[in-house]
Amino acid sequence: MSTIEHVAIYAADAPRLKDFYVDAFGMKVVFESGGDPPGYFLTDDRGFAVEIIGRPAGQSGANQRWVCHLAFWVDDFRAALAALERRGITFEADTFVDNDDLQTAFFNDPEGNRLQIVRRKKRLGA
């Protein structure tokens, strides 16, 4: 069975939003992208994560391409991929990753909502 791994939100000031979630809810920073703008993964004590994606200057609102997606952890990435492909799912080629540290694929559900399957060498927060 798949489990929800993280939700993603967009932020004009990602460091400030990260600090809010850490201070207000006791979340822990488990990954920092170091990019410009920066991005973060924060986890709670049970391993559920919030991804904060820094919004580039001049870009307005949420870019559905990167945020508002639901990510499902899968134990066997290739088996999950094959099962979804049998359902007629088409995956985004430019966001597909399959290496030793990260396996991930994005796609849309039947209503057009953006979904992700993911398997990491080490779970977020572990």
| Residue 68: pLDDT band with limits 50, 70, 90 | confident
Under CATH, which architecture does the 3-120 domain have? Answer: Roll (3.10)
pLDDT in tens, 75-119: 899 999 998 999 899 999 999 999 999 999 998 887 677 889 999
Task: Say whether pTM exceeds 0.75.
Answer: no
- Domain locations in the chain? 3-120
pLDDT in tens, 19-59: 988 987 788 999 999 889 999 999 988 788 989 888 888 87
How far is the C-alpha of 58 from the C-alpha of 30, rounded, in Å?
28
**Pairing between strand 102-108 and 49-54?**
unpaired
